[in-house]
Amino acid sequence: DQQVKQNSPSLSVQEGRISILNCDYTNSMFDYFLWYKKYPAEGPTFLISISSIKDKNEDGRFTVFLNKSAKHLSLHIVPSQPGDSAVYFCAASDGGTSYGKLTFGQGTILTVHP
């Protein structure tokens, strides 16, 4: 049973426009949500996170929105740049007993065209 789902395998956007990546979860015990970015032949790198007590967190061009009632979060990238082309993973943490374990979604391949 996939507790974290990214239903869009890929997304293509034009440079300068907004990229919106979506993620759904089923486990109500998750209390932190994280986004990771992965380039080919590299390990995932942390991008941004949000606590379940917030509904928005912003860091430069990246904003994560959390809708707890819908068990849905999204990552907005504005404006999108060609260097943002990568695989994006949504992940969730059960903070109370996480021990550094995260549950990941399947990933979304973002392609930003010049």
List interacting residues with other proteins (CB under 8 A). Answer: 4, 6, 9, 31-32, 34, 41-46, 49, 51, 89, 91, 93, 95-96, 98-107
Residue 62 Cβ vs other proteins, minimum distance, rounded to whole Å: 15
Cβ–Cβ under 8 Å, residues 14 and 113: yes
| β partners of residue 34 | 49, 91
C-alpha span between 51 and 30 (Å, rounded): 9
Residue 4 Cβ vs other proteins, minimum distance, rounded to whole Å: 8
Q: Toward other proteins, which CB reaches closer, 32 or 65?
A: 32
Q: Toward other proteins, which CB reaches closer, 41 or 114?
A: 41
Cβ–Cβ under 8 Å, residues 47 and 69: no
Residue 104 Cβ vs other proteins, minimum distance, rounded to whole Å: 4
Q: Toward other proteins, which CB reaches closer, 62 or 104?
A: 104
